[in-house]
Structure 1
């Protein structure tokens, strides 16, 4: 049985639907990240789990208990806000222990709990300071400590890193992940940053317009996107989405992609049975930048590699990688190559395509074209 089940949840503000039948179930100890663009409903859903907003329809079950009508204080849930929400007149120790004090926890037990959490978050030397004397990262640790000290069933994080600078955001991301690995607590985390989602989550729920687009592990969402939105939203740079056409060669489906002076033909390796029904029809072909590289870097042991010569429009070195931009199907295409390669804008270069990583979409429905799952033996 799932530990947290968001069952067919709807939310309407007047006649405007904000959430449209969201259904998500996660196990105890999971780190669920709700990700999507601004306005997709992820923070609204988090607030309803916390009890800060009401459901229009549906059910919220926590460890088998229906919590729809429970007040926030009785849900055994702790929330870390984007704004930290620290009391400026209290010390760090006072902020962390405030909830325990309100629950009439004895002073000695309260002090021990505060010290335990401070050690966990490495802020023992900050306990006597006020929030105004702390950096952004230190304030975030204090906000996390106030949630951790309660030892709730469920932690909720509402874009907790969005106020931090880029380097500190990466550092805090690592700390949150390590904290989860040590404590194995159940976390629901909201962000619009898909890199945060990929690095932190054990399960990702991709949302758009109040609807769940895909629920899966980070690798499933990245390698096996269910539709064009997920394919384009997850990943940086995002997946190349190339207009093409399915053609038949020797009784098997291939995709034809138009280049400036030629045509690139690539064999279908995934969902081959389904694409046999799409001969002479338009499709959208999805290839991650790392599935398009230079011939010397292509993994020919694991992949099925096909090469084509294409013009180089732009070269973008990033240090660890070299992103080379070309065009296919009238679209700008990103390829990830080894740094130091002799590739120059305005020249032509050999590109290697790993077709085992290629996915294909219906341009009308925007859904992935999939072969039926095999019957269980």
Structure 2
């Protein structure tokens, strides 16, 4: 049985339905990330798990117990918010211990618990400082420490890193990952940053307009998106979505991409060939990630279907360990991810290698996956 169960959850504000029958299950020790654009309902869902928002329909169960009617204090959860919400007149140690003090935990136990958490978060040297004397990253650690000291059944994180600069976000992301591996506590984490989602999660739930789009492991969501929204939202740079036509040539199914002032580019769909046979003669959208289009020597040698083709290079963007190369196919800009030393120049033709093992196909009308 799942440890955290979200069963057909609905949330209405008046006549407006902001969550529309969400069902999710998280195993004990799992790390569920709720991801999606602003306004998709992920923070509302987190608040309903916490008990800060009422439930219009459905159930939330923690360790088999229905918690719909329980006060937040009775749910054995701890929440870390986007804003640190620290008491400015208290020291770090007092901020961390405050919740325990309110619960009547003896002082000796409080001191021991604070010391343990401070050691875990490597902030023992900060215990006597006030929040005003801390950096943003240090304040976020204190907020995490205040949650950790309670040893709850479930941790809830609501965009905890969004106020930090880029480097600090990476450092804190690693810290959260390390903490989860060490403690094994169930975590539900809200973010709009899909890199955070991919890095931290054991399971990802992608939301859009209050509807669950896809639920699965990071690899499943990234490599096998069920629709165009998930394909486009997950990944940076996002997946190339290229208009294509499915044809039969010499007794086999092929994918044709139009090119300006030259013949169509013909690609072998590989393993998707059989499914694409049902849409022969129809237009589809080819979904292929930038790392699946590369220079020949950088291609995955274990791939079953690699297609080489010369394409016109529009833009070359060196990015340190990689080079992003832009070409034009199907009337769209297409991004390839090549090695840093790939020999390509803007305005010239260059060989591209397409890993069609990684290609997916969508119906442009329904936006659903067809192969």
TM above 0.5? yes
Q: Distance between the aligned counterparts of 1:47 and 1:225, measured in 2?
A: 27
SS at match of 2:317: strand
Task: Report Cα offsets for 1:300-328 as digits up to 9, x if no partner.
Answer: 33342111111111000000000000011
Q: Is the 8 A contact 2:154 2:185 kept in 1?
A: yes
Which residue of structure 2 lines up, in the alignment, with residue 313 of structure 1? 314
Match of 1:267 in 2: 268
CA distance in 1, matches of 2:77, 2:10: 21
Rounded Cα–Cα distance in structure 1 between residues aligned with 2:328 and 2:145: 50
The corresponding residue for 1:126 is 126
Q: Does structure 2 retain, via aligned residues, the 8 Å contact 1:271–1:369?
A: no
Give me the TM-score of the superposition, normalised by structure 2.
Answer: 0.98
Post-superposition shift, 1:196?
0.5
Deviation at 1:299, TM superposition (A): 2.0
Secondary structure of the 2:297 match is coil
What secondary structure is seen at the aligned counterpart in 2 of 1:296? helix
8 Å CA contact 1:113, 1:149 repeated in 2: yes
Q: Please report how far the alpha carbon of residue 250 of structure 1 lies from its aligned counterpart in structure 2 after TM superposition.
A: 4.1
Give the structure 1 partner of residue 218 of structure 2.
218
Aligned to 2:335: 334
Deviation at 1:248, TM superposition (A): 1.5
SS in 2 for 1:97: helix
Q: Is the 8 A contact 2:303 2:355 kept in 1?
A: no
**1:84 offset after TM fit, Å?**
0.7
Distance 2:304 2:201 in 1: 27
Q: CA offsets, 1:47-82, max 9 Å, x none?
A: 010000011111101111111110000000000000
Secondary structure, aligned partner of 1:284: strand
1:374 paired residue number: none
Q: Deviations over 1:200-233 (max 9, x none)?
A: 1111101101011101111111111110000000
Compute the RMSD of aligned alpha carbons.
1.0
Output the CA distance in 2 between the equivalents of 1:168 and 1:28. 29
Tell me if structure 2 keeps the 8 A contact 1:204–1:218.
Answer: yes
Deviation for aligned residue 1:344 = 1.1
* Unaligned segments of structure 1, at least 5 residues: 371-377
Query: For 1:257 and 1:67, how far apart are their aligned partners in 2?
Result: 53
> Separation in 2 of the partners of 1:300 and 1:123?
46
Does the 8 Å CA contact 2:268/2:305 hold for their aligned counterparts?
Answer: no
1:15 aligns with 2:15: yes
Q: How many residues in Structure 1 have an aligned counterpart in Structure 2?
A: 370
Structure 2 residue aligned with 1:347: 348
Q: Which runs of 5+ in 2 are unaligned?
A: none
User: Aligned equivalents of 2:185 and 2:247: distance in 1?
Assistant: 50
Tell me how far 1:262 sits from its aligned partner. Answer: 1.9
Displacement over 6 Å in runs of 4+? none
SS in 1 for 2:197: helix
Partner of 2:92: 92
Q: Please say if 1:160 is aligned against 2:160.
A: yes
In structure 1, the partner of 2:83 is 83
Aligned residue for 2:299? Answer: 298
For normalisation by structure 1, the TM-score amounts to: 0.97
Name the SS of the counterpart of 2:139 in structure 1.
helix
C-alpha distance in 1, partners of 2:302/2:193?
34
